[in-house]
Amino acid sequence: MSKKAISGEVQMFGMSEDAIREQYMNSISAKFSGLEMVVAGILSDAQEMVAYPCAADAVMEAAAKESVRKQLNIAKFILFEMMNQKETA
């Protein structure tokens, strides 16, 4: 994969798609509970991050929003991978 593609993935997810597959989709949680629960966990984490704003510090607030955005993108990536797996099965 090209450096440009990996850079785009890092901007979108905070990590590469391969890292998402390894860290989330091939995790022990995924094996025991299923990918649906992995996505639910990611969404819960994002929900908690949104619940406690850092309005006193604009830099922290921007970083928190960026983290939430990346977590939501990871959840969507996993859902799309699940949909692709269903279509090919």
Q: Which of 63, 81, 70 lies closest to 26 in space, CA to CA?
A: 81
Summary mean pLDDT of the chain: 91
Token digits of residue 40: 């639910």
The percent of residues above 90 in pLDDT, for the chain, comes to 72
Structure confidence at residue 53 (pLDDT): 66
Q: Can you give the pLDDT at residue 63?
A: 87
* pTM as predicted: 0.88
Taking residues 58-77, what's their average pLDDT? 92
Instruction: Give the Cα separation of 44 and 9 in Å (integer).
Output: 22
Domain limits, the chain: 3-88
Q: In the predicted model, what is the mean pLDDT of residues 52-73?
A: 85
Q: Express each pLDDT in 16-40 by its tens digit.
A: 999 999 999 999 999 999 999 999 9
What does the pLDDT look like over 44-60, one tens digit per residue?
999 998 887 666 777 88
